[in-house]
A and B are shown apart, each in its own frame.
Chain A
Amino acid sequence: MSLSNNNKASIVTLIVDYDAGNLASVKRACEQVGLEAEFCADPDHLRHAQRVIFPGVGAAGSAMASLKSRGLDQALREVINNGCPVLGICLGMQISLDYSEENDTATLGFIAGKVSRFRMDRLDLKVPHMGWNEVCVQHTHPVLQGIEAGDEFYFVHGYFPTPKDNSAVLATTDYEGHFASAIGKDSYIGTQFHPEKSGRVGLRLLNNFAQWDGQC
């Protein structure tokens, strides 16, 4: 085995732990695709990460407060600036934009744009958007490789992201019109859906992320 392979095998993926929901399912799905993962709540540890998953459920306001109180916001910013591959999931994706309507919260700003609530005036559409829905890839990306037309992922959310720059929209999904269901820039990619709960296609995405060097 070459040295570089040894190095690759020793990479541990850090799952950012900031009291934003149940992270065990993300870890289990990582293990299923052979990705060694551990939880991380320490900003100094996070700063040295080589691969990061940034999950989260709950509300934007409390999530941001929790990140800041632990100094994890700054550590995340640093790893992203260093080109480390980072995968945001659900709320972890939403707070990577500039602003969320949820709790009127200023968020991390890795990607320009905002997060808005689904309109509630159409009685036939239920909020949260909960269940399986199609993800249509708009820009090819190593992490989205192999996702085909008709592939569905599992969603649970009442808010959705709108990046300012269209090139950051990697995939879209239709619910009250189209919204960005995967966004990305440089070594950061975020999904509104839950790959860890999306069966084979979700595991495939995680496997792609496990192989990704952070280059687009």
Chain B
Amino acid sequence: MLSKRVIACLDVRDGHLAKSVKFVNTQNIGDPVEKAHEYYLDGLDELVFYDITASSEKRNIMLDVVESVASQVFIPLSVGGGVRSVSDATDLRLAGAEKINVNSAAVKRPELIDECSSAIGNQNVVLSMDIQKVAKSNEIPSGYEIVINGGRSPMGLDALAWALEGEKRGAGELVINSIDADGTKDGYEIELTAMIAQAVRVPVIASGGAGLPEHLYEVLTKGHADAALVASMVHYGDYKVSELKGYLHDQRLKIRMSW
């Protein structure tokens, strides 16, 4: 059977590794290429790079980062942040990214998902969704709303409806990122993850809130996620990737243990 995946997310700003709490106060915490290689050697299953560079003239720095990582890390590499067109996606793919994450630009123009999936294949298009909990309403029946622009702009769009639309338009995988849980280390948003994971047929990656190995176990079981995304808990050295995987394996989850 398929193993549950542990994925590390590296936010990159101007070529440096950054980490935010609730999407603000980003700090520079190291070299993304070095970190990626370190995690790869320690058994990481997949890497996600998120470009949070503010200015578009510095975007080429990201292509260099992707290229350096791709020449020394031989696991799937997913890249997102600022992908607005098929040509953005193609540039990143040529630099060595396997999968492309689309987010804000797809909310503004959903056809981007269709275009990317026909250009590079469904399996390589990941729809990343930033989601916050709100009161249930006619507009937002699930009680979870899509937010874009790095957590600043609520869109009045229901998260469950958007997940289903994204799948229909050809997204091969979904990232469920809870803004409420992001950076708190209090655990993933289980209710949100389970709601979406049970409604779609594509794999779901849970993101935001991981602080303890137990949190990964919870979201991969109760949350029905196929993969758990981690950031601060490994970036600051609180846990090693291999420790997290060892813990999940000890809990009898199917985990890749030889690398």
Task: Flag whether B155 is at the interface (Cβ < 8 A).
Answer: no
Given contacts A25-B96, A150-B258, A151-B258, are A197 and B74 in contact (CB under 8 A)?
yes
Chain B's interface: helix, strand, loop or mixed, by majority?
Answer: loop
Is A175 in contact with B75, judged by CB distance below 8 angstroms?
Answer: no
CB-based nearest B residue for A127: B201
Task: Flag whether A145 is at the interface (Cβ < 8 A).
Answer: no
Q: Which of B2, B70, B72 contacts A25 (CB 8 A)?
A: B70
* Bound CA span A198–B122, Å: 20
Q: How far is the CB of A158 from chain B (nearest CB, A)?
A: 8
Task: Flag whether A78 is at the interface (Cβ < 8 A).
Answer: no
How many chain A residues touch B (Cβ–Cβ < 8 Å)? Answer: 36
Task: Flag whether B135 is at the interface (Cβ < 8 A).
Answer: no
Task: Flag whether A41 is at the interface (Cβ < 8 A).
Answer: no
Is B123 in contact with A128, judged by CB distance below 8 angstroms?
Answer: yes
Please encode chain B, from 167 to 185, with 1 for each CB lying within 8 Å of some chain A CB and 0 for all others.
0000011000000000000
* Residues in B whose Cβ lies below 8 Å from that of A148: 258
Is B172 in contact with A130, judged by CB distance below 8 angstroms?
Answer: yes
Is B1 in contact with A154, judged by CB distance below 8 angstroms?
Answer: no
Task: Flag whether B40 is at the interface (Cβ < 8 A).
Answer: yes
Please encode chain A, from 173 to 211, with 1 for each CB lying within 8 Å of some chain B CB and 0 for all others.
011000000000000000000001111111100000000
Is A24 in contact with B74, judged by CB distance below 8 angstroms?
Answer: no
Is B98 in contact with A197, judged by CB distance below 8 angstroms?
Answer: yes
Given contacts A131-B2, A148-B258, A150-B257, are A203 and B121 in contact (CB under 8 A)?
no
- Chain A, range 149-163, C-beta contacts under 8 Å to B: 150-152, 154, 156
* Residues in A whose Cβ lies below 8 Å from that of B257: 150
How many chain B residues touch A (Cβ–Cβ < 8 Å)? Answer: 32
* Bound CA span A1–B134, Å: 72
Is B1 in contact with A174, judged by CB distance below 8 angstroms?
Answer: yes
Q: How far is the CB of B117 from chain A (nearest CB, A)?
A: 11
* Residues in B whose Cβ lies below 8 Å from that of A21: 121
* Bound CA span A214–B94, Å: 31
Which of the listed residues B75, B172, B173, B257 has the most CB atoms from chain A within 10 Å of its own CB?
Answer: B75
* Residues in A whose Cβ lies below 8 Å from that of B201: 120, 123, 126-127
Q: Which of A152, A156, A203 contacts B258 (CB 8 A)?
A: A152
Task: Flag whether A133 is at the interface (Cβ < 8 A).
Answer: yes
Which of the listed residues A25, A196, A198 has the most CB atoms from chain B within 10 Å of its own CB?
Answer: A25
Task: Flag whether B226 is at the interface (Cβ < 8 A).
Answer: yes
Q: How far is the CB of B98 from chain A (nearest CB, A)?
A: 7
Task: Flag whether A32 is at the interface (Cβ < 8 A).
Answer: yes
* Residues in B whose Cβ lies below 8 Å from that of A151: 258
- Chain A, range 75-134, C-beta contacts under 8 Å to B: 120, 123, 126-133
- Chain B, range 187-236, C-beta contacts under 8 Å to A: 201-203, 226-227
Is A197 in contact with B75, judged by CB distance below 8 angstroms?
Answer: yes
* Residues in A whose Cβ lies below 8 Å from that of B258: 148, 150-152, 201
* Bound CA span A162–B211, Å: 44
Is A133 in contact with B3, judged by CB distance below 8 angstroms?
Answer: yes
Q: How far is the CB of B201 from chain A (nearest CB, A)?
A: 6
Q: How far is the CB of B173 from chain A (nearest CB, A)?
A: 7
Is B76 in contact with A154, judged by CB distance below 8 angstroms?
Answer: yes
Is A131 in contact with B226, judged by CB distance below 8 angstroms?
Answer: yes
Q: What are 18 inter-chain pairs, A to B, with CB distance below 8 A?
A: A22-B120, A24-B96, A25-B98, A28-B74, A58-B121, A126-B203, A128-B123, A128-B172, A130-B123, A132-B3, A148-B258, A151-B258, A154-B75, A175-B1, A198-B74, A199-B74, A200-B259, A201-B259
Residues of B within 8 A of A (CB): 1-3, 5, 40, 45, 70-72, 74-76, 93-94, 96, 98, 120-124, 172-173, 201-203, 226-227, 256-259
Closest 8 CB pairs of A and B: A152-B256, A132-B256, A132-B3, A131-B2, A156-B123, A22-B93, A199-B259, A133-B2
Supplied contacts A24-B94, A132-B45, 17 more A-B pairs, CB within 8 Å: A21-B121, A24-B96, A25-B98, A28-B96, A32-B74, A126-B226, A128-B123, A130-B173, A150-B257, A151-B258, A152-B3, A152-B256, A198-B74, A198-B75, A199-B40, A199-B74, A201-B259
Residues of A within 8 A of B (CB): 21-22, 24-25, 28-29, 31-32, 57-58, 120, 123, 126-133, 148, 150-152, 154, 156, 174-175, 196-203
